[in-house]
Amino acid sequence: MDEFDLIHRITPKETHQRSLVMGIGDDASVYQPHSHCEEVVCVDTMVEHVHFRFDFSTPFEVGFKALAVNISDIAAMGGTPKYYLVSIAIPPHGDETIVTALYEGMKALADTYHMDLIGGDTVAIRSDFVITVTVIGEVPKGKACYRHSAQAGDIVFVTGELGSSAAGLSLLMNEVESAKAVDSDFFLERHKMPQPHIAAGYICSSFPRVTLNDVSDGLASELNEIAEASRVTIEIEADKLPKHPDLPMLRKDWLEWVLFGGEDFVLTGTIPEADWESFEIQCKKEDIQITRIGQVKGDQAASVILKDNDQQTVLMKKGYNHFKK
């Protein structure tokens, strides 16, 4: 496979963003940001046999997910994705068919949000694929959703369902107790091709004070990050955590998936109680599932507490961590 031929083939034939001045074809890309917006930039790396396996996912699905996880970070800031760059290290087993399908998977999701591929890098590597994606987005000035603004009395919420991606991975690894009479395809798709919650994040940015995190490492981990940044205690209720009705059929202790499974890429955060009704109405208009799962408490140590009937459990900042086994 020739590097320059690859670059030629992945270079977009047309672009979506009018603010793009120069895309692929020079030493760097140039674009003109809108004066009424702030830029949002994020980057994520996926490594073969750590984040994905080609015997579990097709190259198209891997590419799709590589971009999706970055778009989800933009959603967690209340922003809109505009551009992306891809740096890919290709091993000896990475033939032209695989590499082309990876980029096709990214493009399929990028076209949904009218995003443009504006650069990156291609190199050879001796072992496994390494895919690094950078996404550039925009959020209206002063409207970004951060982790540090939660206050006592705020409502804790989550968009979408929890635990489905972890269930999908367990299905792939044959770790579930039973898959009979279960919508396995639903869970597999949630793991392989997650859908970022851009619309929900954009609605959040329209309110004066909303904290947000995307659920990449697990609900417990994400809420702990908000609690630490805001110096508050967050209480959530086990019976209010949203899940697919088939989830308990796959595992008796399904709550582990919901709290610590991760990679659901829904959004969780806090919003003042006075804004909750309006928030619900706006989400309903856009057909966005929104669930109230708890409340923020003040004047206490930063922590997350799970209330399950009469029991209270402090949830540790546990979830996926690359440097812990």
Annotated binding residues: 27, 44, 51, 73, 103, 120-121, 147, 214, 216-217, 263, 320
Cα separations in angstroms, 161 against 198, 207, 226, 297: 15, 23, 19, 24
Q: How far is residue 318's CA from residue 316's CA, in Å, rounded to a whole number? A: 5
Of residues 82, 65, 74, the one with CA closest to residue 118: 82
Q: Please give the C-alpha separations between residue 200 and each of 127, 142, 196, 205, in angstroms, as whole numbers.
A: 39, 18, 9, 9
Annotated binding site for Mg(2+): 27, 44, 73, 121, 214, 217
Please state the separation of Cα 52 from the chain's center in Å. Answer: 15
Token pair in block for residue 131: 């895919």
Task: Classify burial at 184, counting beta carbons within 10 Å of its beta carbon; exposed 0-12, middle 13-18, buried 19 or more.
Answer: middle
Query: Is the Cβ–Cβ distance between 125 and 90 less than 8 Å?
Result: yes
The tokens for 311 are 């029991």
| Percentages of the chain per state (helix, strand, coil), in multiples of 5 | 35, 25, 40
Q: Which amino acid is at 291?
A: T
Known binding-site positions for ATP: 103, 120-121, 147, 216
> In Å, how far are 170, 179, 320 from 325, measured between CA atoms?
17, 27, 9
Please choose, from the candidates 256, 255, 263, 167, the residue with its C-alpha nearest in 3D space to the C-alpha of residue 214: 263
As given in the structure block, the two tokens for residue 95 are: 């033939």
Inter-residue contact 56 to 182 (CB < 8 Å): no
